[in-house]
Amino acid sequence: MLFTFSKITGHAGSRIGWALVKDKEVAKKMVEYIIVNSIGVSKESQIRTAKILKVLKETCKSEAENFFEYGHEMMKNRWEKLRGVVKESDVFSLPKYPEAYCYFFGKTLGSYPAFAWLGTKEETDLVNELIC
């Protein structure tokens, strides 16, 4: 699995990522590649990322302050509001995303992406519908 720091926290300027790899030989090759190719990576970005990851790790210990719990609840609430508005519309529709097991939370959760594919129930002049 590959992860980018900008996607997890919104720190787009950091240009930092990481990977979880099962194969030790692949991991060794990745480390060699990173050593050679990270010479030009800003040390400030690396230090900032390490500090932010440390804070994120600490928040995971507390249910009241968990960064990922907060993010999940925030997106869930936004999607519930959006679905309520779209439900009142005769024109627009939203796709239904399946629930899936989340290994981080250890339970099945709904999907609440950071984007919404707004569709129409029938052929419509979307420009006029969105302006009204």
Sketch the domain layout of the chain as residue ranges: 2-59, 67-131
Mean pLDDT split into 10-residue runs, the chain, 132 residues: 70 74 90 79 81 86 83 94 92 90 91 87 74 70
Show the CA angle centred on residue 130, arms to residues 125 and 132, nearest 5°.
100
pLDDT at 107: 94
pTM score over 0.85: no
What count of other Cβ atoms lies within 10 Å of the Cβ of residue 48?
16
What is the token pair recorded at 27?
Answer: 């991991």
pLDDT at 60: 84
Residue type at position 109: L
Q: What are phi and psi of 16, to 5 degrees?
A: -120, 140
- The topology (CATH level 3) of 67-131 is Aspartate Aminotransferase, domain 1 (3.90.1150)
pLDDT at 94: 92
pLDDT at 3: 66
